[in-house]
Structure 1
Amino acid sequence: MKKILFASSETHPLIKTGGLADVAGSLPLALADLGQDVRIIMPNYQAIKNCEPGRYLCTVRVNNCDVNLLETRLPDSNVIVWLVDYPPFFNVPGNPYLDEAGRPWANIGERFALFCRIIVEVAMNRAYLDWRADILHCNDWQTGLAPALLSLEQERPATVFTIHNMAYQGLFPGSAYSQLNLPGQLLHPEGLEFHGMLSFIKGGLAYSDRITTVSPTYAQEIQTPEFGYGLEGLLAHKQQQLRGIINGIDTTVWDPSSDNYLAHNYTADKLEGKQANKAALQQELGLPVAADVPLFGLIGRLVEQKGIDLVLNCLAEMTTLPLQFALLGSGDKSIEYRLQEFARLYPEKVAVTIGYDERLAHRIEAGSDIFLMPSRFEPCGLNQMYSQRYGTIPIVRRTGGLADTVVDSLPESIANGTASGISFNDASAAALIEAIKRSLVLFHNPKIWRQIQRNAMAKDFSWKNSAAQYLALYDEI
């Protein structure tokens, strides 16, 4: 049994702004199920909910600050969560990265530097907890200074650093280095310095024993200028230590046979229930109820990364095809406006819901025939996995985790029973509309379509799979 300290700036269901929280709330549980002693450490934000209030453990002094450690648990589990309690930084309204008005915290560097110092004290068993980590598993730039600071320690734990999205790096002016009172021996081009600036993520990349990211294809992509954001050279240099491991999904929450949000539950053997969900969704969204018209779904942030501009450039042609389109999402205001305009002009074809609604998200996953996910880049992605589990065939661009989790429906993959979706290469509207037309041909061949649905629903996207790969990685180091 290993003692694993899992450091994250957010953890579902305590607080969540994105996919990192889902991983931090699921992977430690899966590791605990494999018999490991896992503790999560995260800041004690004012906005934390869904857990018992933290019990006071001790006070640790770092960088002239007295910081309390509190203890709670992940809901419905025995996994301990240690909350780093420093009210001047964390007991304020807002989310982990933005204040109430949606502006980035002015002191965000100080906040996460303090968090990293406490991570080190806990990992080294200097926090009066009588618990010393074998492995410190850090996630994203907010924890990047911890492996760097640990590199200066004798007999330190082994370190793993996971990149959830290379686009976020924690870059600060060079002057922040002395303001944060960081050790001088870490400030050099092989260390925390990045073109005269201070880079938090570089601490994780340069000093960790192993680097992981959330899919094998993304692990290759971040070693190129297009996806590496200036750090591709360092990642290529460390490629022996770099591994891609696909995130799992919560198969208890996303399960068409027991999902409480659905009008009808169903399984791969009883796909009639899926038809009933489609009819209920068409009715709910004010679309004509028609079993033989394929319903396309899309759920996501309306930003360029997600390829929503490609969808907008296809919509005019899509309205001429025998299909319906249901979208749920929010983001760029001009994109929201253009989508709403299409829904107003083509109420029989297009239904747009701006915002986020968990219930509707489940109903779109279950009620759609086909799911659009034409991302420009996608480190892992979750909706393509939810879709397959619900027998909803995803159309994806061949990038990152989308390339690793969806098998294109070609004559060979249809014949050998592995086909589970449709993929295309170019980030262009022409390539997307071609994939959409290809899906229409397959949809109108019921025998083949049902086989692709069953292939998709048979795939195992559980965390158990991913946790076993992380455990093997911990064993290596």
Structure 2
Amino acid sequence: MSRAMNILWLASEAFPLIKTGGLADVAGALPRALIKRGHSVRLVLPAYQSVFQRLEAHGIDGKAPPLKPRGTLILDGREVRLWQTRLPGTRVIVWLVDIPEFSRRVGNPYVTAEGTDWPDNHRRFYTLCRAAVELAMGRAGLDWKADLVHANDWQGGMACELLAREDKETTRPPATVFTIHNLAYHGLFDASALQELGLPPGLWHPDYLEFYGQLSFIKGGLVFADRLTTVSPTYAQEVQAPAAGCGLDGLLRARRHHFYGILNGIDAKEWNPKRDVHLVAHYDHRHLEKKDINKRALCSQLRLANEPGTPLLGFIGRMVEQKGLDLLLGTLPEFLARNDIQVVILGSGMADYEEAFQRLAQDYPAQLSVQLGYNEALAHQIEAGVDLFLMPSLFEPCGLNQLYSLRYGTLPLVHAVGGLKDTVIDNDDPAQANGFRFNSATTGALRSTLKRALALYRDHPEAWRARQLNAMGGDYTWERSAAEYERVYEEALSDSALA
């Protein structure tokens, strides 16, 4: 292990306090793995109203971590309150940055009920970054100073820019690492935001924060962090090419020697079929037959026909174009019409997709169940109960559901991009194969791969079981990933010391 570090981990969400996507799972797990490896970690989050509500809910079942005030910061004449708690069920200390725009606003943390960005997102998340810098520099009166700040996605990018402006002659600022979880989200704002936030005019330049006439928060991390990471090796290569680079591929190629792809892990305690509290039957690789009990329970719960010999397919995710939903809509009806499959879908997003899947479910009520929204317990039950998990994403930086599926002996069927390509093996070697992949984002490619998977399920049960055992035997823990992050942290600290 490397030397112990003080690490400030800055994110806009963390499970189980607030979750809209994969960042929350990472923020809820990687700090825990770093603490287990001997580091002192402080997780900084916005004090959303929903976070306070979640902490109160934990209080109902007697598991509430303490919530206590930790003073205030004055930023540009404005009072910013600080609270301290712990990530429920962990030793991770959480510092909550409380401004009314976080704590008095209901709903999604980033967008309105109409699906548009909150108009003051630039002020909200710049304030979060300003507060994080004060905490990291030890100027908040909490008797703790960071050696390194790990910031995430556009919401945390400006912390890296702010730290780069600290006076290094007076006090050495922490080193910085910035992680891209999804490059498609840049944090773009009107040019007027530069002046409104009091940023130096010199930052309005393509080499810094300007992006085709807009202010880009993600460039605050991409340009100014000591080291960059993203969430899989393949995605790190993909975003350096125009097709997936979202206009930032040139910048990422320029920083390629300081840019790393590190696969996400999963919470092996939360996602463990042997102890999962959400399952009706626990199982492991030695008792795979109990997986069928969960399948029957899931079908009964969702009012699907009880057809033990019919493969049950699952999908969990946001209903947006990125997730390959057009491929599913172009492929599934053929198999449903022949009564070849049953399908469970859990998610929400664009109304057009929600309505299209609901219409399909009306046509095949005994074979297709569509559950709109997100339900954590049902997500676990789907992972355990289905035979095949569908992830036809057009792009996928890492993906977590395929890792959950592997852990649960549920074979993932994926488009070979990003972390899906890095984690799902599809070949003729019975000692390696753990799922199914298709290379071209077309309905034809998905259809042929699904046919191949169904044939293996029906005609070669021993080969299917071998893939299940390979899947369950993989190492998907955060301990593996945390060791890789340590090496990146050490490089960042080394560079910072030489600066």
Q: CA deviation at 1:162?
A: 0.5
Q: CA deviation at 1:195?
A: 2.2
Distance 1:181 1:465, change over 3 A: same
Contact 2:47–2:102 under 8 Å retained in 1: no
> Does residue 278 of structure 1 match 2:302?
no
Counterpart AA for 1:138: A
Q: CA deviation at 1:88?
A: 5.2
Counterpart AA for 2:90: S
Q: CA deviation at 1:434?
A: 0.4
Distance 1:338 1:373, change over 3 A: same
Partner SS state of residue 38, structure 2 = coil
Counterpart AA for 2:396: E
Partner SS state of residue 331, structure 1 = coil
**Residue deviations 1:48-94 (CA, integer Å, cap 9, x gap):** 12254642223222222222222211122222111112235543333
> Does residue 464 of structure 1 match 2:464?
no
Moved beyond 4 Å, runs of 4+: 99-103
In 2, the alpha carbon distance for the partners of 1:268 and 1:64 equals: 59
Contact 2:280–2:293 under 8 Å retained in 1: yes
Pick the aligned partner of 2:147 from 111, 134, 149: 134
- Aligned-residue CA RMSD (Å): 1.7
Q: CA deviation at 1:122?
A: 1.6
Pick the aligned partner of 1:225 from 242, 251, 259: 242
Instruction: Name stretches of at least 5 consecutive residues in structure 1 with no aligned partner.
Output: none
In 2, the alpha carbon distance for the partners of 1:423 and 1:353 equals: 26
In 1, the alpha carbon distance for the partners of 2:145 and 2:252 equals: 29
In 2, the alpha carbon distance for the partners of 1:196 and 1:104 equals: 18
In 2, the alpha carbon distance for the partners of 1:108 and 1:241 equals: 29
In 2, the alpha carbon distance for the partners of 1:397 and 1:102 equals: 28
Aligned to 1:242: 259
Distance 1:252 1:60, change over 3 A: same
Q: CA deviation at 1:121?
A: 1.6
Structure 1, 355-364 or 374-383: larger mean CA deviation? 355-364
Aligned to 2:470: 455
Aligned to 1:431: 445
Q: CA deviation at 1:101?
A: 5.8
Matches within 5 A, 1:5-404: 5-48=8-51, 49-50=54-55, 52=65, 54-87=67-100, 90-99=103-112, 102-153=115-166, 154=168, 155-319=172-336, 320=338, 322-404=340-422
Q: CA deviation at 1:103?
A: 4.2
Q: CA deviation at 1:177?
A: 0.5
Counterpart AA for 1:304: E
**Residue deviations 1:339-382 (CA, integer Å, cap 9, x gap):** 22222222343232233222222222111111111000111111
Contact 1:148–1:186 under 8 Å retained in 2: no
In 1, the alpha carbon distance for the partners of 2:432 and 2:385 equals: 23
Q: CA deviation at 1:166?
A: 0.6
**Residue deviations 1:422-466 (CA, integer Å, cap 9, x gap):** 000111110000010110121120111111100001111111111
**Count of matched residue pairs:** 473
Partner SS state of residue 301, structure 1 = coil
In 2, the alpha carbon distance for the partners of 1:89 and 1:328 equals: 28
**Residue deviations 1:154-191 (CA, integer Å, cap 9, x gap):** 12111000011111111111111011111234332211
Distance 1:167 1:209, change over 3 A: same
Contact 1:93–1:100 under 8 Å retained in 2: no
Pick the aligned partner of 1:442 from 446, 456, 478: 456
In 1, the alpha carbon distance for the partners of 2:181 and 2:33 equals: 18
In 2, the alpha carbon distance for the partners of 1:88 and 1:293 equals: 50
**Residue deviations 1:257-276 (CA, integer Å, cap 9, x gap):** 11122221111111110122
Distance 1:286 1:44, change over 3 A: closer
In 2, the alpha carbon distance for the partners of 1:222 and 1:236 equals: 9
Contact 1:99–1:105 under 8 Å retained in 2: yes
Structure 1, 287-296 or 444-453: larger mean CA deviation? 287-296
% same residue: 51
Partner SS state of residue 10, structure 1 = coil
Contact 2:49–2:102 under 8 Å retained in 1: no
Structure 1, 426-435 or 71-80: larger mean CA deviation? 71-80
In 1, the alpha carbon distance for the partners of 2:362 and 2:16 equals: 36
The alignment's TM-score, normalised by the length of structure 2, stands at 0.91
